[in-house]
């Protein structure tokens, strides 16, 4: 029913536009930019952001240009790399190749949902994990808190999903989990063939820190400073070290698992969306609400 989320058992702060209206708007957008030769990039982009992000892209040329600029203009962003630690060993324990493929497919689909529902951008599936980013112009002033909350939610989901999937494996290794790396810095959002991707030093080091032990989130110094300055001590960190290719052992900050999510300001652009799409009178969001099943197209 219009105006309701699919999960009718939980309250929602959003009034969802009808499926038909959003689908028509997206098709009009794609037709509009087709003459510019970026049709496939737009299609990829609208499936890389959350429900309200889709609406934003149909309504704002400014935000579309930030993602699709031809010169790959720089922006500041938190980059998050998620890796299934010891995925090769786990694959060998699967009862069939199909079973492992299904396990990874469902896992990565859910990790994507978590990222985009925290106002992040899903970049790509990396084979045994995902790459995502939280650009300041889209994720907002609390992008770092959103990235940290997303990391906590990803760990929580993996633990439950792995426990529920034991029937897919002949042996159940107990040291399997996600390694998540987070860094912050200047990145470029560039066009590659018919898609867009993010590049920059922060991408490199986020991927390196994704080699963290299972069930750990390692945060690099620039990202830690930004998050620590904005989170008012709600997150808890401990110092850790990790060996990085061509760098040796470096310092990282390990985000304590199992914490409650920290409230964060919503991105500023949400205040410009009509009230028939989302409420405009609240400054914070609830991770529980954002993790509800929301679908516009």
What is the structure's pLDDT at 178?
Answer: 95
Q: Sign of dihedral through CA atoms 137, 185, 195, 100? A: negative
Residue 255's region, left for phi above 0, alpha for psi from -120 to 50, else beta, is: beta
Name the residue with tokens 């790396």.
181
More confident residue, 126 or 43: 126
148 inside domain: yes
Q: Dump pLDDT digits (tens) for 1-31.
A: 444 444 444 444 344 456 667 667 766 666 6
In a domain, 194, yes or no: yes
Domain match, 105 and 173 both: yes
Q: How confident is the model at residue 190 (pLDDT cuts 50, 70, 90)?
A: confident
Question: In the chain, how many domains are there?
Answer: 2
Mean pLDDT of 95-107: 92
- Is pLDDT at 78 greater than 80 in this prediction? yes
Q: Are residues 23 and 149 in the same domain?
A: no
Q: Is residue 214 part of a domain?
A: yes
Higher pLDDT, 270 or 32: 270
Tell me, yes or no, whether 153 and 208 share the same domain.
yes
Indicate the pLDDT class of residue 183, thresholds 50, 70 and 90.
very high
Tallying the residues shown for the chain, one arrives at 297
How many CB atoms neighbour CB 128 within 10 A?
18
In a domain, 103, yes or no: yes
Q: Is the pLDDT of residue 218 over 90?
A: yes
Task: Give the span between the Cα atoms of 3 and 285, in whole angstroms.
Answer: 18
Looking at the fold, whether 89 and 180 belong to one and the same domain comes out as yes
Decide if pLDDT at 278 tops 60: no
Give me the CATH number covering residue 83.
3.30.70.1230
Top pLDDT among 267 and 254 is at 254
Residue 31 lies in a domain: yes
State residue 219's pLDDT score. 97
- One domain, residues 53 and 95: no
Looking at residue 144, its pLDDT comes to: 93
34 and 75, same domain (yes or no): no
pLDDT tens-digit profile of 220-248?
999 999 998 876 657 889 999 998 888 88
Give the DSSP per-residue string, 262-286. Answer: PP-BPPGGGGGS-TTTB--S-SB--
Mean pLDDT along residues 58-65: 80
Find out whether 233 and 206 touch, Cβ atoms under 8 Å. Answer: no
DSSP 8-state symbol, 14 = B
How many other β-carbons are positioned within 10 Å of the β-carbon of residue 60? 14
Domain residue limits at 26: 18-68
Which band of pLDDT confidence, cut at 50, 70 and 90, is reported for residue 283? very low
Same domain, 141 and 186: yes
In a domain, residue 3? The reply is: no
Same domain assignment for residues 30 and 108: no
In-domain check, residue 85: yes
Q: What's the pTM? A: 0.78
Which of residues 39 and 85 earns the better pLDDT score?
85
Neighbours of 39 (CB within 10 A): 16
């Amino acid at each position: 029913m219009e105006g309701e989320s699919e999960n009718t058992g939980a309250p929602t702060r959003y009034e969802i536009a009808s499926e038909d209206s959003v689908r028509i708007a997206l098709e009009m957008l794609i037709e509009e930019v087709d003459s510019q030769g970026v049709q496939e990039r737009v299609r990829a982009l609208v499936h890389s952001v959350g429900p309200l992000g889709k609406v934003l892209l149909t309504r704002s040329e400014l935000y579309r240009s930030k993602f699709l600029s031809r010169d790959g203009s720089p922006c500041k962003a938190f980059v998050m790399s998620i890796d299934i630690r010891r995925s090769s060993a786990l694959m060998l324990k699967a009862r069939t190749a199909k079973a492992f493929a299904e396990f990874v497919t469902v896992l990565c689909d859910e990790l994507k949902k978590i990222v985009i529902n925290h106002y992040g951008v899903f970049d790509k599936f990396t084979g045994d994990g995902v790459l995502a980013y939280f650009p300041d112009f889209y994720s907002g002033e609390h992008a770092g808190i959103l990235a940290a909350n997303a990391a906590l939610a990803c760990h929580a989901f993996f633990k439950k999903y792995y426990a529920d999937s034991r029937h897919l494996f002949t042996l159940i290794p107990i040291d399997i989990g996600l390694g998540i790396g987070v860094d912050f810095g200047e990145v470029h959002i560039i066009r590659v063939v018919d898609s867009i991707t993010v590049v920059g030093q922060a991408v490199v080091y986020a991927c390196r820190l994704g080699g963290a032990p299972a069930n750990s989130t390692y945060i690099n110094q620039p990202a830690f400073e930004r998050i620590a300055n904005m989170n008012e001590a709600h997150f808890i960190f401990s110092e850790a070290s990790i060996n990085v290719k061509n760098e040796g052992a470096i310092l990282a900050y390990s985000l304590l698992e199992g914490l409650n999510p920290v409230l964060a300001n919503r991105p500023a652009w949400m205040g410009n969306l009509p009230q028939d799409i989302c409420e405009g009178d609240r400054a914070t969001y609830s991770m529980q609400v954002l993790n509800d099943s929301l679908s516009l197209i």
